Copies of this chain bind each other. A is one copy, B any other.
């Protein structure tokens, strides 16, 4: 097996964060090629790729954007550059090639399996997810400030879900003196929320108490902000849904009740691209290095 410094990486698609990642990878690997970004944007330690097919064939590692492919196999690319049809190249990749991405849908995981490709999905890595929750929480605050005619100070905010993102969001709104209520499924989550000074409600008990709030923030990837909840909510309430598409809100029902509901996934790259790039650049190379140190071949991080 070759050592990591002999390997070639191709970084394809995504936004400026991918360039930051490519630059960080350049100190570890023999060669880093970047496809789908304008040549002047690339750091001198990386190479501009003008032929994706050729560069993918020679790559030992392929780094896709955090969002992975959509169901049609397309990965999004830097504005101005076309979307990349990565899905149709998968069958022509060298078996054993490692594909690094935030997450893959089952369709493409199955495809990778049948082509003997290795997949590393980092979106669920705790270190990355917690660090990314900081720009996510700040972006949520920014959206809330832009949408609400009142200050966050003194506002009534409900946060649904108390995982890695929910806790960061609760902390930031609490720090600005909002009146924060956390709705979660598990009693131990509510215990932590209470320790942080939040009001708490078990998810099963929530419907009776939705009525008077200014802002609802959802972090749960399941239909929790449903028609029943929305029917009990005041019309000027704003809903910000952070769960990955299609979110956890009944957006049709929200429209009927005249409630403004925003699906806002992918906030880190949007509101703090530099910090979000630094998070990925400080973590992804270590994950790839660890993978090769272990001899490769494990599917998960």
Contacts and interface: CB of A to CB of B under 8 A. Distances in A.
A151 interface: yes
Contacts of A273: 149
Interface stretch (A3-11, A86-94, A133-141, A181-189): A133-141
Nearest to A174: B175
A142 interface: yes
A170 B139 CA distance: 20
B151 A135 contact: yes
Contact of A149 (B149, B176, B275): B275
Contact of A153 (B134, B153, B154, B176): B134
A172 B61 CA distance: 43
Contacts of A271: 145
A196 interface: no
A151 B175 contact: no
Number of copies of this kind of chain in the complex: 2
Interface of A is mostly: helix
A172 B175 CA distance: 8
A211 interface: no
Most chain B beta-carbon contacts within 10 A, residue among A150, A151, A175: A151
A111 interface: no
Interface of A: 134-135, 138-139, 141-142, 145-146, 148-154, 172, 175-176, 271-275
26 contacts: A134-B151, A134-B153, A135-B151, A135-B153, A138-B145, A138-B151, A138-B152, A139-B145, A141-B141, A141-B145, A142-B142, A142-B146, A145-B271, A148-B272, A149-B272, A149-B273, A150-B272, A150-B274, A150-B275, A151-B272, A151-B275, A153-B275, A154-B275, A172-B176, A175-B175, A175-B176
